Structure 1
Amino acid sequence: MGFADNLKSIRKERNISQEGLAEIIGVSRQAVSKWEQGSGYPEMEKLLVLSKELNVSLDYLMLGEIKSTENNKTLPNTIIVPTGKITIKSYDGKSIVNCYKVLASHVMYKAKNDEPKYWLIGLNSGSFWGEKSIVLGWYVDEEKIKKEMDEIAEAINNGVPAYELKYAVKVKNKMLRVKIDEE
């Protein structure tokens, strides 16, 4: 089953009408109907609300993945086709970006000892003016950013729809500079 069938099935299991679900999510009943017919998808923010309100994982909602009793393995009941895109939450949690390209680079200034030396940038084409870039994460060394890039590439190749940064450091802004947050 895909997203449309999963959403409809979960909604009915919970005895929620399309109108009721629309009210919970903050959309029109027509939007819910469109999603359940497979002629549209909600925005990422709405998907997160759906997941929370219906008490199901995004994996289950989007892919219909179920847990096996054998070694607690995940068994997808759909074929996953890599899209070349992946959704990544930024280091500060303020942005969720549907990236079609992820770039690793040295920061544009000479980094001091208490500053990250690399940054990960995500690009999407959601802007009226073309590509939009956003800093996804900050890194202390080349090894960590390469490891992150390898895992993101693997996730894209495996058709994983979302990825959470694992090797980025916490930072804080201080006088127009980005400092590593030691707290």
Structure 2
Amino acid sequence: MSFSENLRLMRKERNISQEELAEIMGVSRQAVSKWEQGTGYPEMEKLLILSKELNVSLDYLMLGEAKHTEKDIPSSNNIIVPTGKITIKSYDGKIIVNCYKVLASSVMYKPQDDEPKYWLIGVNSGAFWGEKSIVLGWYADEEDIKREMDEIAKAISNGAPAYELKYAVRVKNKMLRVKINEE
């Protein structure tokens, strides 16, 4: 699918109007409409904000799927557990996702000291148009997310039907940024 189709579908899945998205992005509703019609494209910084706001990777936003090259797979910033299915509750406890793939990656922006540096993304195939991804948890450092991935991989290989996140940090949203909640 094209960027315009992906944007329109993801915006609608999240029940965000064109006006609301335009306000979040700091653009006009007409700009969002042009993006969704394929007659215009956002600047790179706007793409990054879209990706973060819609909780999807740039690959997914632009191509409709998570694409990885062979050189990406061994990287410590991009670990994939591609086999089995497991149910995981999101970091905020508001969403339970039946995942067939779990991705661990560094965030797509330069984090400040009080922001998480990594996120865990669950992917399922429950959406009408294919894969749907959701942020499962936020992590302060690489060691915590690696431990989480090891535990999830172990749970999948042991045939566990569900897994509860153990190493994710509590976060709060503040002005389109995710901050670590120390409370």
Matched letter for residue 169 of structure 1: V
Identical counterparts, % of pairs: 85
Question: Following the alignment from structure 1 to structure 2, what is the Cα–Cα distance between the partners of residues 180 and 160?
Answer: 29
Q: What is the aligned-residue RMSD (CA, Å)?
A: 0.8
What is the aligned partner in structure 1 of residue 106 from structure 2?
A: 106
> Are residue 181 (structure 1) and residue 159 (structure 2) matched?
no
SS at 1:124's partner residue? strand
Count of equivalent residues:
101
After superposition, give the CA deviation of every residue in 1:9-58 in whole Å (9 maximum; x if it has no partner): xxxxxxxxxxxxxxxxxxxxxxxxxxxxxxxxxxxxxxxxxxxxxxxxxx
Matches within 5 A, 1:86-165: 86-165=86-165
Question: Following the alignment from structure 2 to structure 1, what is the Cα–Cα distance between the partners of residues 169 and 155?
Answer: 21
1:99: Cα distance to partner?
Answer: 0.2
Matched letter for residue 97 of structure 1: V
Matches within 5 A, 1:51-66: none
What is the aligned partner in structure 1 of residue 168 from structure 2?
A: 168
Matched letter for residue 170 of structure 2: K
Question: Following the alignment from structure 1 to structure 2, what is the Cα–Cα distance between the partners of residues 114 and 125?
Answer: 33
After superposition, give the CA deviation of every residue in 1:96-131 in whole Å (9 maximum; x if it has no partner): 000000000010110000000000000000000100
Question: Following the alignment from structure 1 to structure 2, what is the Cα–Cα distance between the partners of residues 95 and 108?
Answer: 22
SS at 1:121's partner residue? strand
Question: Following the alignment from structure 1 to structure 2, what is the Cα–Cα distance between the partners of residues 142 and 182?
Answer: 19
1:155: Cα distance to partner?
Answer: 0.1
Question: Following the alignment from structure 2 to structure 1, what is the Cα–Cα distance between the partners of residues 176 and 104?
Answer: 21
What is the aligned partner in structure 2 of residue 67 from structure 1?
A: none
Question: Following the alignment from structure 1 to structure 2, what is the Cα–Cα distance between the partners of residues 129 and 145?
Answer: 29
Q: Unaligned regions of 5+ residues in structure 1, if any?
A: 1-82
Question: Following the alignment from structure 2 to structure 1, what is the Cα–Cα distance between the partners of residues 144 and 182?
Answer: 17
SS at 2:126's partner residue? strand
Question: Following the alignment from structure 2 to structure 1, what is the Cα–Cα distance between the partners of residues 163 and 169?
Answer: 16
Q: Which has the larger radius of gyration?
A: 1
TM-score scaled by structure 1? 0.55
Q: Unaligned regions of 5+ residues in structure 2, if any?
A: 1-82
Question: Following the alignment from structure 2 to structure 1, what is the Cα–Cα distance between the partners of residues 147 and 106?
Answer: 15
1:154: Cα distance to partner?
Answer: 0.2
SS at 1:137's partner residue? strand
Question: Following the alignment from structure 1 to structure 2, what is the Cα–Cα distance between the partners of residues 152 and 93?
Answer: 17
Matched letter for residue 93 of structure 1: G
Runs ≥4 in structure 1, deviation > 4 angstroms? none
